[in-house]
A and B are shown apart, each in its own frame.
Chain A
Amino acid sequence: MIEREILELDVLFVGAGPASLAGAIHLQRLLRKSGQDASVGVLEKAGEVGAHSLSGAIVDPRALKELFPDKSVQDFPFEAEVSEEHLYYLTESRKIPFPFVPPSMSHHGCYVASLGKLTRWLGEACEKDGVDIFCGFAGTELIYDGDQIIGVRTGDRGIDKKGTKKQHFEPGADIHAKVVVLGEGTRGSLTKNFLHKHSLMKERNPQVWAVGVKELWQMPAGTVQPGFVAHTMGFPLGHDVFGGAFLYGMKNDIWDLGLVVGLDYKNPGVDSHHELQRLKTHPWIRSLLEGGKMVAYGAKSLPEGGWYSIPKLSVSGAMLIGDSAGFMNGQRLKGIHLAMKSGMLAAETISEAITENNFIETKLRDYEDRVKSSWIRDELWKVRNFHQGFDHGLIGGLTNAGIGLLTGGRGWGFKDRLTSIAGHLRMEKGMKKDRYKDLQFDGNYLFDKVTDVYHSATTHEEDQVPHLHVNEPDICITKCVEEYGNPCKNFCPADVYEMVPDGDNQRLQINFSNCVHCKTCDIMDPYQIIDWVPPEGGDGPVWINL
């Protein structure tokens, strides 16, 4: 019987994303400079750094330049500088350019990038700096000593689908750390419980989310301009579903095509994967993708709530950074630079905490002050009511955003703070319009969900307890069927949830092996009975450059 491993570290970052990696690099430097010796580790549930990273993305190089002042922009692993940018309103067949791109939405001076590539690059820099990155380990529980968080427990490995221990069963390890920094990304699983247990969202707006689904298309040589950027509104989402499409030109003739769909729509039939396929029926998109081949697919949720949805950022022994804290600029569609900066600011507080040997809340709270006096706040304050305006549809949202540009972010021009409700509460009961009755999948250009999932290269140990916990499965076949028509099969972009015949009835089948770890189900389930927990370490997508 293998015993539980115990590892002692000084600082543990959970999640090897841009926030944690930037934080770890910055922290190592600060520790070296102050002559301190401290062990820093990063926990990552994917088998390798970058495998679970997905974004558009357009990156504001600001944080990278601060982190690597000696490097030039050419050294960063970007695809290309944004060379041209377009903003379009699409109808089913037409494309109408916006007369101008508001400066705050301009991507001038930013770079098209693959988050996976960037994360891998940061990971290498991190390891060179002596930080240990533990891949294939999922953090499943925070460890407490009274009120103080003193570490993270990782998941058990080697349990079969009935819950019995297999021959090579290994209990999860306990990693003790003076500070645990939660950089799990969007809708982190440890973070979700952490926010609840410590009431960190008190007096805040509930977080609102969106899901991004994307496909990478390999095009013939010379047909894609790296650095090309286009964003669209209108078709296929229309005015009642928040979101829009993005099209970025990457290196090696790859088109990066995606759709962001707000997870606060009313129609339970909305299916972000299907919307992406509908987007491709637009003649302009079709003409661009002609002659190409879809090579990768992925999806991930993102926090859209903005400044007022950011929780209290620390308790004794733990802090929140990056998307786990909700540092995303919905209007600029950028969050990576904010994530990195938050990691760096956290590092500054931690370095001091180590010097003072003080890790209780009153000390770690300094991080929040740092954030409030940094450019993170400057940037997010101006767009603090951005998403909330869209509660009134597309025109309302644009109007609110437009006025916000003139009033420094006030809601409708005068309200300091617009409130909102959690997105899943907006879903309306009863039969709704079928948005996809004309959608036909041909397998070459428009793909059904199962085919797209195949291209997300996601695998899971088959013989394990499904990591999607549906806490009251009876609801699925009774209330939910009637009230919402089982929206899980629609909002999951990976075909995880399926209602299958079971004699005369139906039952919910969970194809957990398809899961791409986007967390949409945890967010959007109208009854909030789905709990996403990490599967066995190493499982999940194997994204290379998404």
Chain B
Amino acid sequence: MPNRVLDGKIALITGGASGIGRATASLFAREGAAVAITDLNEEGGKSAARDIVQQGGRAIFEPADVTRAEDCQRVVDRTLREFGGIHMLFNNAGIICRASILELTEEDWDRVMAVNVKSIFLLSRLVVPIMAKAGGGAIVHMASGWGLAGGPRAAVYCASKGAVVLLTKAMALDHGSQNIRVNCICPGDTDTNMLRHEARQLGETEDRFLSESARRPLGRVGKPEEIAQAALYLASDAASFVTGTALVVDGGGLAGSG
């Protein structure tokens, strides 16, 4: 297989059991990376790793709740034990709660902030020293178009994704001198379970919600594979001069109004 861009690399991907995380794990493996997948969802995570192995790639699955420091430690330890390093970290795990602050409970606030933001801190602080020691690495965070612009009935999701965008920039400043690049992706609506879950939270039919979501210049929602390509770009040497940036991949959704 010629010219695989991640040959010899090792990636750790959170939220890798489904959606964008799973598509990214699969793409990274096809490009030659050994992939460690973690997720709360054991069944999905195992099947994601199994698919990769069946196609001749290298993958492991370690279940974890990435909002817990000890779980993050276990995932990193297992990855090091199996593959001997970590060159790329994709902090992809995320959940959404469609509610205004009036509808939102304190428990929902805490859970969304923990999964979408704190997990990045907990995992990155373990992985950065490993990358620094190895002479560098690439970290990609999952933000959102709603980390740049606000959305209706999405208060804590927007707060969490705005936090991810700025955490990306702050980490890029702190670790650039260690040759660690830190970037984030800001996808628009993408055809995943989360999108269908949103429709249910808002009490809308899937068809109606998906057709609303498609109202953007490209006239459709994104595919997980399209977001995975953006993660591949940021994680690979193709982006060797890119750090602290927020890459919008949204079919033009944030391009403007009119």
- Answer yes or no: do A and B interact: no
Which B residues are closer than 8 A to A by beta carbons?
Answer: none
